[in-house]
Structure 1
Amino acid sequence: MLARSHNLGAALLLAPLLLLLAVAYGIPFLGVMRWSFTLPEPGLAQYLTVFTDPLVQSVFVRTARICALVTVTAVAAAYAIAYVWVRGTPGQRLIAEYCILVPFWISVLTRAFGWVALLSNRGLINSWLQSLGILGEPLALVRNEFGVVVGMTHFLIPFAVFPIASAMRAVDERVLLAARGLGASRTRTFWSVFVPLTMSGIIGAALIVFVFALGFFVTPAILGGGRSVMVAELVYLRIFQSPDWGLGAAISVTLVLIVGLLTAALFRFLRFSQMAG
């Protein structure tokens, strides 16, 4: 009886949030889905285009490639920061906290233009390298996939830190001491014991970063310069510039379904990791 009343209370507390999500996201999404089946003519032609058109397919492949690169680099950097944050000295932990929290105070637009100022042909990096005589011509660091990966990685690192840090805090120090006592070096203890024990955080962080990266728009649009179009930017182009609302809606629905499947995998994995210890 007590458990039933507790569940009822939790449902009542969640009801306003669920209602807000339904109104703000559910109803508009149903409208977009309707466009995908009715514009310009009723049928499945737009979804057929999504799965057969070479241009659309190339954008999906490019998006998957960029998201995979961003996931690997962001999770690797986040792991290093989380390690210092959890196991470093008090001073190191303070620096790590600043590295994690300060990016949240800066808008994504400001960060994107900051990277343009650093990476453009007349930016700080190219100007510095040319002034030292290292380069004769500026490097192409923006208006390509490299600039997009750098900007997205910088934005997503803080989101990857938290699940990794949570997994690191759950590691039993006695296990590490036992490995050291059995003769394992610090390096082997790290790679053979510590990293496997934090694998749940790594996988969770990778899924979070990949899902977030799939829907990026501002950073690829600015740092890619229209040469590294991702799915979200393609939707914008089809809706506001072509205009081809039916195809844009079909691409949007496909992207939402992919994100939904990845999110379901994330929640299933989290439940499994919790059951595993």
Structure 2
Amino acid sequence: MHASLRRIYWWLIAPAVLLMLVFYIYPLVQVLWISVTDPVPGLGNYMELIERPLIHRIWMTTLRVCVITTAITVLAGYAVAYAMCQVGDRHRTWMMFCVLLTFWLSVLIRAFAWVMLLRTEGIVNSGLQELGLIDGPLRLVRNEFGVIVGMVHFMLPLAVLPIYSNMTGIDTRLISAARGLGASPIGAFTNVYLPLSKPGLIAATILVFVFSLGFFITPALLGGGKVVMISEYIQVSFEETLRWGQATMLSSTLLFSVLLSLALVARFVDLKKVFGAR
């Protein structure tokens, strides 16, 4: 009976496995194959990672923007999630609605909105000048600042949701017990609440960092060609310079970077517990 049930389970997941093989694994193998065969067979494309200063700069820009974006997003997401856990049900519902509302807006619309807000004649610069805080307009777009602002805005819900989900499972009586034993509010938070919310923090950090590595539209629009990240350079290699070997090499490197990040995190934490698996 046990063997027959196992066969039934395999037959049930067979369509999903087939779809993964056809629409994910096969194209991925093609990308890896092109990266070592175009324009000539070998590892010449991957040698560019070591030899070309331009690729070094692009990778350093990508990593710097992703790390800063992840740090700001996770800190802001933690604050929002913590506030959601402390307010009443009515306010919590409205806060959750505002968080989820961003998923209904196109990333393209949000990027253009930030361009209009942060441009030289935008609301932000006009407001600061009206308040007398600045004498002339600031350059808030076509640089890393604008890219980070747009990416943080997009990534914030991805940080809030896993952190909030983790926080809802924390027994608040533990905080009360710590206070009753003489801990200060800050001590109770740092020694009890913060460690218990660590799985949510780790999950949010992984999600935001991985999404940031491959982000394209927001850096392209808010960076204005001044801040080139790896995904934009892949697009240039595919469509403009037609260097498919280089483009697939960079795509493969991006994939390996994500896998390496997950492997490094897995050495210190149990990813199954972090993402709620049993």
* TM exceeding 0.5: yes
Report SS of the residue matched to 1:100. helix
Deviation sequence 1:189-236 (CA, Å, 0-9, x none): 112210111111101110111001000000000000111111100101
TM-score, structure 2 as length reference? 0.91
Give 1:94 shift. 2.1
Which residue identity lines up with residue 27 of structure 1 in the other structure?
Answer: Y
Report SS of the residue matched to 1:216. coil
Separation in 2, partners of 1:273, 1:30: 29
Report SS of the residue matched to 1:38. coil
Deviation sequence 1:23-67 (CA, Å, 0-9, x none): 222222222222111111111100001233111011111111111
Separation in 2, partners of 1:92, 1:72: 26
For 1:216, the equivalent position in structure 2 comes to 215
Separation in 2, partners of 1:260, 1:227: 28
Give 1:8 shift. 4.5
Is the 2:200–2:274 Cα contact (8 Å) retained in structure 1?
A: no
Which residue identity lines up with residue 154 of structure 1 in the other structure?
Answer: H
Separation in 2, partners of 1:26, 1:222: 31
Shift of the 100–5 alpha-carbon distance from structure 1 to 2, 3 Å rule, reads farther
Matches within 5 A, 1:1-277: 1-2=1-2, 7-264=6-263, 269-271=270-272
Give 1:171 shift. 1.4
Shift of the 12–156 alpha-carbon distance from structure 1 to 2, 3 Å rule, reads farther
Which residue identity lines up with residue 146 of structure 2 in the other structure?
Answer: G
> How many residues end up aligned between the 2 structures?
276
Q: Over aligned residue pairs, what C-alpha RMSD do you find?
A: 2.2
Separation in 2, partners of 1:6, 1:160: 39
Give 1:174 shift. 2.3
Of 173-182 and 19-28, deviating more is 19-28
Shift of the 171–143 alpha-carbon distance from structure 1 to 2, 3 Å rule, reads same
Which residue identity lines up with residue 120 of structure 2 in the other structure?
Answer: N
Shift of the 256–225 alpha-carbon distance from structure 1 to 2, 3 Å rule, reads same
Which residue identity lines up with residue 259 of structure 2 in the other structure?
Answer: G
Report SS of the residue matched to 1:208. helix
| Paired-residue identity, % | 43
